[in-house]
Amino acid sequence: MFKYLVIATIILAFYVLSAYATTDIIRLLKGSKTPVYAPDCYCDACGNKIRLIDQIPIFAYLFNGGKCHHCKCKIPSFDFYFEIFFLLGLTVTNILLRFSLIGFAATVAEYELAKLIFIIIKGKREDSFAKNLLISLLTNVLVFLLIGALYVMLAIVRAKLG
């Protein structure tokens, strides 16, 4: 039972990771001016701060009809599909690899590879790219240490309970 609780927590972590990816990766792409480490998100059109409740991945976009709460401008659907891409991609990979430690390695590889591919396709941001990339990679280490701890916990539970 505890095993499934840990697996559910890992999938929940992917959901949070999909939101993190929109700031971590999209801010490295061409046209972005917000620093990777800025805690708040802003609407591209009106510049207003996006409320925390409107940052809930996937659901906030659907609930708001893909529009900014302040100016009713359309939020790029790219952000929406981007979140689904990470949540589904990482979940499917881990179901195939049974949420093993190899699954964790694949999760890190998939995330960083996706970052690289998005940078190649969309182009890198015009100002302070190197600095933002460095900060991005450093925070990734912290994020994946936390997620990695869940996988280690799961491996221990499996070894003990089978």
Residues that bind Zn ion (CB under 5 A): 43, 45-46, 68, 70-71, 73
Q: How far is the CB of 50 from Zn ion (least distance, A)?
A: 8
Q: How far is the CB of 27 from Zn ion (least distance, A)?
A: 17
Q: How far is the CB of 130 from Zn ion (least distance, A)?
A: 30
C-beta of 36 vs 68, nearer to Zn ion: 68
C-beta of 5 vs 53, nearer to Zn ion: 53
C-beta of 51 vs 131, nearer to Zn ion: 51
Q: How far is the CB of 101 from Zn ion (least distance, A)?
A: 43
C-beta of 48 vs 128, nearer to Zn ion: 48
Quickly tell me which residue has 């070894």 as its tokens.
159
C-beta of 47 vs 162, nearer to Zn ion: 47
One-letter-per-residue 3-state SS of the chain: CHHHHHHHHHHHHHHHHHHHHHHHCHHHECCCCCCCCCCCCECCCCCCECCHHHHCCCHHHHHCCCECCCCCCECCHHHHHHHHHHHHHHHHHHHHCCCCHHHHHHHHHHHHHHHHHHHHHHCECCCCHHHHHHHHHHHHHHHHHHHHHHHHHHHHHHHHHC
Q: How far is the CB of 68 from Zn ion (least distance, A)?
A: 3
Q: How far apart are the first and last CA of the chain?
A: 12
